[in-house]
Amino acid sequence: MTTDSPTFRRSHGFLPTEMTGLDTLTGLALDLRWSWNHAADALWQQLDAELWDRTHNPWVVLQTASREALQQRLADPAFRAQMAALLAQQQCAAAEPKWFQSQHPAAALTCVAYFSMEFMLSEALPIYVGGLGNVAGDQLKSASDLGVPVVAVGLLYQQGYFRQEIDRQGAQQALFPYNDPGQLPITPLRLASGEWLRLKIALSGFPVWLRTWQVRVGGVMLYLLDSNDAANLPVHRGLTAELYGGGMELRIQQEIILGIGGWQLLKALGIKPEVCHLNEGHAAFVVLERARTLMQETGLAFAAALAVARPGNLFTTHTAVAAGFDHFSPALMSQFLGDYARQELKIDFETLMALGRQSPTNPAESFNMAFLAIRGGGAVNGVSRLHGAVSRQLFGALFPRWPTDEVPVGHVTNGVHMPSWDAEAADALWTAACGKDRWRGGLDALAAHIGQVPDEALWQLRTSCRQDLVAYTRARLARQFTVSGQPPALVDIASKVFDENTLTIGFARRFVAYKRPNLLLHDPERFIRLLTNRAQPVQLVLAGKAPPFDEAGKALIQQWMQFIAQHNLYQHVVFLSDYDLLLAEHLVQGVDVWLNTPRRPWEACGTSGMKVLVNGGLNLSELDGWWAEAYAPEVGWALGDGQEHGDDPAQDAAEADALYTLLETQVGPEFYQRDARGIPVRWVERMRQSMATLTPQFSANRTVREYTENYYLPAATRYAQRAANKGAAGAAIVQQRQHIGDEWDKLAFGEVQTEAVANGYLFRVPVRLGALTPDQVLVELYANGLGGAAALRIPLVPDAASSAEGRYQYQALVTTTRPAGDFTARLLPTYEGLAVPLEDDRILWQR
Ligand SMILES: *Cc1c(COP(=O)(O)O)cnc(C)c1O
């Protein structure tokens, strides 16, 4: 990476530098590899066991440990040997060729820049809320494992998202502890001269300085920006304080910092990505700034520069409802980007606005960031198969007259970074079965190997993981009750909740209505009978934050707290506060069943259920998001009928009923039915199937390989073609689009003639092309697919010569048993190397 070059120096804060060996420790502490590779844990523990236990942040341990302790340790030959081994391991991991280098040695891809509003890498770097950050963080870690050349760009929040406490009344309280950059495992970027690398951008006419940071994630770098620079006005210093806080005025400025500031940072570092991956629309302004750079480098006008950049931009949408997209009013856009459009992009403001509008010329319409990402992107994808289909509907309006199936949105189903989520015991079991490097290449052999692990070993894994969770729950709940001022008697109860051998269900996610976190409370009496059944008891551990201004979400939490207290169910139901990565880790490692109850199709993908797979946990989930494609009867349980019902209360009631029935008649009995060895054989067989078939498929390893092969590599090639010769292709595209536009209204179909022939028809289609030539358009027959099959597209072939006024006779011989009336002729523009309809959505139908 560029920052390893002598131009940039790292600073290590307040550490004494004269101790030998300290550099090695620093290098280890500042590489977030420790978030998934626990080989160094013992080292940090020796420096300060208590602090290590509290923070799991090696960088804090290293800075806080007393000088004596440091000196003592560094003088200890055993400690030094451990350190040297870890250093060798780190260097070896950096040097060895990985999947990408061995599979794609001649790739045109040298760098993907991954932009995201949040990254969830470790609880020691709290710059995330949940799902979106999880996807970003786990993909970075997998890119490091696989050697995919990724750099990432995000924001450094001084407070981040709120931390949750539950008070004695069961109400959520929001806390905002300060993220001291000196205590985070990050380093400021510096120029060769030693001064901090700062960037200056303009916001609403004011210069705003951005500070820059780097985070090492194994072989991948994450760069962060923040505005808390002493030279800034007070209003600007706090811009990057909170994640998803404040209103739209704050949000637009954060997104400008991420997209425009982020691209400038890469430029300052000399990084030239072929591909920009926009993780959600928040970062979409980067497409403007990338085009602006091309304008400066090539002299192209904005439209041509954007055409050059487009194939190098990939947009991943994570939203399942139209209301979920960020959009900004024309007034806000004008305030923050009016001058930028006119002075930097040299376009008028309405031209900029058109990029973010459904109807480009509607002055009342606000600016939608997802629309900008689509209009500036060369490919778009949703995050599960179902979400791909939902997104094609959501974005259908941008492609008028196109069938929904052809709306250009594909999908790459998310996955999770298995080494980050596996329990120690699971790691040992997988290592024995599949080897140490199992997540670093192809995964084809894993299923067969894990399929052979004996019943005893699988059940032992489950038992020991559940025991750990019970112990953790007791300690954590007791602390939680103490902090919130609960009476000592209740603290004492907290330290004894749960049972190590009881079927344990987990439910943890944001408390928002569509996730239906209170579905189990639909019939309290039935639920209590289920929990306290003597032969088949159940215990439930809950966690999750409600958005700070979502009163309904907070009420859902309070409803649970009151339910537990009112019915004295402390032994059976526990709500743990402050759901974050650390808590998620304990939960997904320990539970037997992970429950998920969203209203279909609002869960775009969901990832928490994937984290239990590697640990032998089973999923019971609504057929939504990833589970709609993962579910099979032998791997878990499904809720819902695979249809959409909105927020119909009758459907909620029916699904609550189905959930109780599943738990009573299938989940409970299977868990408690033991053979002579004391093993629940059917349960263990489900574990085996789930681990063998789903773990590889829903790992971020598979996700990142899919992004690389289906998106990054083709994008890099197409971008290189457009960028060649100072972006000559860009100007040609703009010109041809204009030319087609000039003729478009003159294009027309004549009377189609159909002649029945053996096994089908001969279609003759007269077409008037005006001044266009047949190589500039594609004329084809289209028929709906039957019974869920793909639609038919049959190209028509023109006569060699045209008659007067550009009239051509097109024809095709079609073998079919369908009626001729099923086929409709249509015409679309066609260009060398241009994605239609993404880059040109015009289409003309015969009728
Ligand atoms: C995995 C995870 C999420 C995302 O889970 P969903 O399945 O989208 O609910 C959210 N928050 C945390 C802390 C996580 O670990």
Ranges of each domain in the chain: 8-95, 106-414+708-723, 421-435+454-698, 747-845
User: Do 59 and 182 touch, CB atoms closer than 8 A?
Assistant: no
Atom index in ligand 1 nearest the CA of residue 605 equals: 8
- According to the model, what pLDDT value does residue 10 have? 45
Separation of alpha carbons 712 and 119, rounded Å:
20
Going from the Cα of 515 to the center of ligand 1, the distance in angstroms, rounded, reads 12
Range name among 16-20, 385-389, 586-590, 750-754 with the lowest pLDDT average = 16-20
Q: Which residues contact 74 (CB under 8 A, 6 or more apart)?
A: 19, 20, 21, 22, 80
Q: How far apart are CA 143 and CA 604, in angstroms?
A: 22
CA distances for 114 relative to 119, 150, 155, 254, angstroms: 11, 7, 12, 16
3-state secondary structure of 712: helix
Which DSSP letter does residue 597 get? -
Ligand 1 pocket test: which of 583, 608, 611 has the largest number of ligand atoms within 8 Å of its C-beta? 608
CB proximity list for 664: less than 8 A, separation 6 or greater:
530
Helix (H, G, I), strand (E, B) or coil at 286: helix
**219-244 burial, b if ≥16 CB within 10 A, otherwise e?**
bbbbbbbbbbbeebeeebbbbbbbbb
Write down the pLDDT at residue 17. Answer: 57
CB count in 10 Å sphere of residue 82:
17
Torsion of CA 130, 135, 136, 140, to 10 degrees: 130
Please, are residues 23 and 87 in contact by the beta-carbon 8 Å criterion? Answer: no
> Which atom of ligand 1 is nearest the CA belonging to 579?
13
CATH architecture of 747-845: Sandwich (2.60)
Is-same-fold flag (106-414+708-723; 421-435+454-698)?
A: yes
Confidence at residue 6, expressed as pLDDT on a 0 to 100 scale: 33
Q: How far is it, in rounded angstroms, from Cα 403 to Cα 760?
A: 25
Which whole number is the average pLDDT over 760-766?
96
| Neighbour-count burial of 809, counting CB atoms closer than 10 A to its CB (0-12 exposed, 13-18 middle, 19+ buried) | middle
**CA-nearest residue, atom 4 of ligand 1:** 131
Distance 130 CA to ligand 1 centre (A): 5
CA distance 307 to 316: 19
pLDDT in tens, 623-643: 999 999 999 999 999 999 999
Query: Would you say residue 2 has pLDDT above 50?
Result: no
d(CA 229, CA 10): 19
Alpha carbons within 13 A on the beta-carbon side of 237:
7
- In this prediction the pTM is 0.96
Contacts of 241 (CB under 8 A, 6+ apart): 157, 158, 159, 228
Q: Provide the residue type at 582 as one letter.
A: L
Residue to mutate, 119, 123, 134, 585, ligand 1, most ligand atoms under 8 Å from C-beta: 134
**Angle between the N-to-C axes of helices 286-298 and 302-309, in degrees from 0 to 180, rounded to the nearest 10:** 110
Residues with CB under 6 A from ligand 1: 130-131, 134, 509, 579-581, 584, 606-608
Q: Please, which residues have CB within 8 angstroms of residue 96's CB and are 6 or more apart in sequence?
A: none
Task: Give the number of other Cβ atoms within 10 Å of residue 175's Cβ.
Answer: 10
Nearest Cα to Cα of residue 212 among 198, 201, 222 = 198
pLDDT for residue 447 is more than 70: yes
Residue 159 · residue 126 · CB < 8 Å = no
Name the phi and psi angles at 834, rounded to 5: -110, 135
Q: Supply 221's token pair.
A: 């770098």
CB distance 131 to 514 below 8 Å: no
One-letter identity of residue 120: M
Task: Kindly list the distances between the CA atom of residue 356 and the CA atoms of 284, 328, 368, 398, in Å, as whole numbers in the listed order.
Answer: 10, 9, 5, 10
**Closest-lying ligand 1 atom to the alpha carbon of residue 131:** 4
The pLDDT value given to residue 11: 47
Work out which ligand 1 atom sits closest to the CA atom of 510.
9
pLDDT in tens, 360-388: 999 999 999 999 999 999 999 999 999 99
CA 217/CA 152 separation, integer angstroms: 10
**Residue partners of 505: CB distance under 8 A and separation at least 6:** 538, 539, 540, 541, 591, 592, 593, 594, 595, 620
User: Which of the listed residues 120, 135, 163 should we mutate to test ligand 1's pocket, taking the one with most ligand atoms within 8 A of CB?
Assistant: 120
Ligand 1 pocket: which of 509, 597, 610, 620 to mutate (most atoms within 8 A of CB): 509
CA-nearest residue, atom 12 of ligand 1? 130
pLDDT digits (tens, 9 = 90+) for 484-501: 999 999 999 999 999 999
Which position has the higher pLDDT, 1 or 219?
219
Average pLDDT, the chain: 95
Mean predicted confidence (pLDDT) in 341-349: 98
Tokens representing 331 are 């007034």
What does residue 46 show for φ and ψ, rounded to 5 degrees? -70, -25
**Which ligand 1 atom is nearest residue 610's CA?**
7
Mean pLDDT is lowest, of 300-314, 672-686, 737-751, 802-816, for: 802-816
Instruction: Classify 726 in phi/psi space as left (phi over 0), alpha (psi -120 to 50) or beta.
Output: left
pLDDT above 70 as % of the chain: 98
Mean pLDDT throughout 506-527? 96
3-state SS assignment for residue 109 = coil
Instruction: Measure the CA–CA gap between 795 and 188, rounded to whole angstroms.
Output: 57
pLDDT in tens, 176-188: 999 999 999 999 9
Taking the C-alpha atoms of residue 370 and residue 837, their distance in angstroms, rounded to an integer, is 17
Whose C-alpha lies nearest to ligand 1, atom 5? 608
Of 628, 599, 630, nearest in space to 612 by CA: 630
Is residue 1 over pLDDT 50?
no
With a cut of 80, say whether residue 117 has pLDDT above it. Answer: yes
CA-wise closest residue to 232 among 204, 263, 258, 259 = 204
What confidence category does residue 833 fall into, taking pLDDT thresholds of 50, 70 and 90? confident
Could you tell me the distance, in angstroms and rounded to a whole number, from the CA of residue 707 to the centre of ligand 1?
21
Please state whether the peptide bond connecting residue 126 to the residue before it is cis, i.e. omega within 30 degrees of 0: no
In this structure, are residues 312 and 378 in contact, taking their beta carbons and an 8 Å threshold? yes
Q: Of all atoms in ligand 1, which is nearest to the CA of residue 515?
A: 9
Find the 607 Cα to ligand 1 centroid distance in Å.
Answer: 6
CATH fourth-level superfamily of 421-435+454-698:
Glycogen Phosphorylase B; (3.40.50.2000)
Q: What is the DSSP string of 177-230?
A: ----GGGSS-EE-B-TTSSB-EEEEEETTEEEEEEEEEEEETTEEEEEEE---T
Instruction: State how far the Cα of 365 lies from the Cα of 345, in Å rounded to an integer.
Output: 21
For residues 263 and 334, what is the distance between their CA atoms, to the nearest angstrom?
21
Q: Per-residue pLDDT averaged across 298-318, rounded?
A: 98
Contact indicator for 528, 628 with CB cutoff of 8 Å: no
Q: What is the pLDDT of residues 33-48, one digit of tens each?
A: 999 998 889 999 999 9
Spacing, Cα 683 to ligand 1 middle (Å): 25
Which neighbouring-strand residues pair with 845? 826
β 275-279/313-316 pair status = parallel
Distances (CA, A) of 665 to 518, 562, 593, 658, 660: 21, 28, 15, 10, 8
Was domain 106-414+708-723 assigned CATH 3.20.20.70?
no
Distances in whole angstroms, Cα of residue 519 to Cα of each of 55, 606, 654: 35, 18, 10
Alpha helices in 395-439 (DSSP H): 418-421, 424-434
**DSSP conformation letters of 447-483:** HHHHTTS-HHHHHHHHHHHHHHHHHHHHHHHHHHHHH
Q: Which residues contact 240 (CB under 8 A, 6 or more apart)?
A: 155, 156, 157, 158, 225, 226, 227, 228, 254, 257
User: Whose CA is closest to 14, among 28, 5, 26?
Assistant: 26
d(CA 144, CA 417): 11
Mean pLDDT over residues 739-756, rounded? Answer: 96
Cα Dmax for the chain: 96
The DSSP element (H or E) to which 754 belongs, if any, is: strand 753-757
Determine the Cα–Cα distance for residues 495 and 478; give it in Å rounded to an integer: 5
Q: What is the pLDDT of residue 15?
A: 58
Q: How far is CA 529 from CA 524, 526, 534, 562, in A?
A: 9, 5, 9, 18
Separation of 698 CA from ligand 1 center, angstroms?
14
